[in-house]
Amino acid sequence: MADHDRIASAVAAAWSQNRDVTGGANADYIPALATVDPDLFGISVVTVTGDTINAGDANTEFAIESISKVFTMARAMDEIGSDAFHSQVGTDPTGLPFNSVMALALHGDKPMSALVNAGAMSSVSLIPADSTEDRWAKILAVQSAFAGRTIALSETINQSEQTTNAHNRGIAWLLKAAGYLYDDPVGVCDVYTRQCSTLITTADLATMGATLANDGVNPLTGARAVHGENVPHILAEMTMEGLYEASGDWAYTVGLPGKSGVGGGLMAVVPGRLAIAAFSPPLDSHGNSVRAQLAITQIAATLGLSLYRKPHEADGQNAGRESSIRLATAGRQK
């Protein structure tokens, strides 16, 4: 079967076999996320040649949330270099929830990872800018470059987050006190909150992932979104921290760098080949979408995509492995 047909068949099967899965709950600590239709379920794959395959609600917009951290990390690393980024933010897993203050206390208030809230705010503050609006414009620009279309803020999500983000504001001030926030905490937390409140589809998200798979060049537009030498650092960080405290289980089971968000989105990247994105709002207790994890696990297994095995060796032989993913049970309601 041609590559396109094999991928399309795996995507269609993952959608139809997981659409009726129940379990998990919408994030509700951000009030606007609690009201999103929990039945929504979309899957997209974009290859490095720009082939796009969609299933279900692939063109429905949802809040990018934590997945935005990947693109801010990319921009900050491009601006200051990977060595400076390494020392000023850190690049190790915390092993603790994405908004953990204990994780900071355990590491001398160093964020450790750009993919937790503390490190994401540090990353925001490292993007050189003359003003909050200038920094926000740069972050919107990098999200848009990765997606290949103009990404915009949801006023509703942003308003909901800005009025309930006291915990993140506290983290910003702790970072400032420790010397790991490199600008004004109020403006940085504002921009961080906005970057989480933009709207994307799974078709966008798969394109964003495919841009990473394609060494930083968007396969649909042909434009570079991030320096190629920074891509391996970003994918390594996604492997270590991309699915919160379940990142290790994900690497063990699926074998692909991934990043999730509490809006229900999840992307996984196969360097040199493609990216898979899925979206469905109900989350497990770690904050990862239940259906999205199942769908991507199934597609990766069916197509033999794990980075830790010889490429293509087991194509088509792993269709039963999807059930082995271990999902944390309850919904995220912090």
Residue number, 161 or 237, with CB nearest to ligand GLU: 161
Q: How far is the CB of 244 from ligand GLU (least distance, A)?
A: 7
287 contacts ligand GLU (rule: CB under 6 A): yes
Percent of residues in the chain assigned helix, strand, coil, to nearest 5: 50, 10, 40
Q: What 3-state DSSP class applies to 48? A: coil
Candidate list 196, 206, 217, 256; residue touching ligand GLU; CB under 6 A: 196
Q: Which is nearer to ligand GLU, 14 or 120 (CB)?
A: 120
- Residue 225 vs 243, nearer CB to ligand GLU: 243
Least Å distance, CB 77 to ligand GLU, is 20
277 strand-pairing partners: 44, 267
CB of 3 to ligand GLU, least distance (A): 32
Secondary structure (3-state) at 140: helix
Q: Which residue has the tokens 């990473």?
A: 212
Task: State yes or no: residue 161 binds ligand GLU (CB under 6 A).
Answer: yes
Asked if residue 288 binds ligand GLU (CB under 6 A), the reply is no
Count the site residues for ligand GLU by CB under 6 A: 11
Min dist. Cβ of residue 56 to ligand GLU (A) = 21
Of 97 and 304, nearer to ligand GLU (C-beta) is 97
Query: Secondary structure of 228-258 in the HEC alphabet?
Result: HHHHHHHHHHHHHHCCHHHHHHHHHHCCCCE
Structure tokens at 246: 């379940």
Nearest to 76 by CA among 91, 64, 60, 96: 91
In eight-state DSSP terms, residue 161 is H
261 touches ligand GLU (CB under 6 A):
yes
CB of 37 to ligand GLU, least distance (A): 18
> Toward ligand GLU, which CB reaches closer, 142 or 274?
142
Instruction: For residue 125, state whether it binds ligand GLU (rule: CB under 6 A).
Output: no
List the interface residues with ligand GLU, window 46-105 (CB under 6 A). Answer: 65-66, 98-99
Q: Could you say which residues in the range 201-260 bind ligand GLU, by CB under 6 A?
A: none
Rounded to a whole number of angstroms, the minimum distance from the CB of residue 141 to ligand GLU is 20
Tokens for 181, please give them: 């926030």
Rounded to a whole number of angstroms, the minimum distance from the CB of residue 183 to ligand GLU is 18
In this chain, which of 72, 144, 154, 168 binds ligand GLU, going by CB under 6 A?
Answer: 168
Task: Give dist(CA 140, CA 200) in Å, integer.
Answer: 12
> Exposed/middle/buried for 222, CB within 10 Å: 0-12, 13-18, 19+?
exposed
| Residue 98 C-beta: closest distance to ligand GLU, Å | 4
Residue entry with tokens 């270099």: 81
Dig out the tokens for 257 from the structure.
């760098």
Look at strands 258-260 and 265-270 and give their pairing.
Answer: antiparallel
| Residue of this chain nearest to ligand GLU (CB atom) | 66
Nearer to ligand GLU, 65 or 284 (CB): 65
Four-residue CA torsion sign, 276, 44, 267, 24: negative
CA-CA-CA-CA torsion sign (120, 122, 127, 132):
positive
Is residue 15 within 8 A of residue 44, CB to CB? The reply is no
Nearer to ligand GLU, 3 or 92 (CB): 92
Which residues of this protein are in contact with ligand GLU, per CB under 6 A? 65-66, 98-99, 117, 161, 168, 196, 261-262, 287
